[in-house]
Amino acid sequence: MSEETTSLTFAELGLPDTLLQTLTSVGYESPSPIQALTIPHLLAGRDVLGRGRTGSGKTIAFGAPLVENVLRSQAGQRREFARKPRALILAPTRELALQIDRTVQPIARSVGLFTTQIYGGVPQGRQVGALRKGVDIVIGTPGRIEDLINQGKLDLSDVRVAVLDEADHMCELGFLEPVQRIL
- Which residue ranges make up the site for ligand AMP (CB under 6 A)? 1-2, 5, 28, 31-32, 35, 54-60, 103
Name the residue among 115, 104, 122, 121 with its Cα closest to residue 61.
104
- For the bound state, the minimum distance from the C-beta of residue 23 to ligand AMP, rounded and expressed in Å, comes to 7
| Three-state SS at 139 | strand
Let me know how long the chain is: 183
Smaller CB separation from ligand AMP, 74 or 115: 115
- For the bound state, the minimum distance from the C-beta of residue 35 to ligand AMP, rounded and expressed in Å, comes to 6
Smaller CB separation from ligand AMP, 21 or 54: 54
CA distance linking residue 90 with residue 2, whole number of Å: 22
Smaller CB separation from ligand AMP, 82 or 98: 98
- For the bound state, the minimum distance from the C-beta of residue 81 to ligand AMP, rounded and expressed in Å, comes to 32
| Three-state SS at 30 | coil
Smaller CB separation from ligand AMP, 67 or 148: 67
Element (H, E) at 42: helix 33-43
CA distance linking residue 46 with residue 69, whole number of Å: 11
- For the bound state, the minimum distance from the C-beta of residue 153 to ligand AMP, rounded and expressed in Å, comes to 30
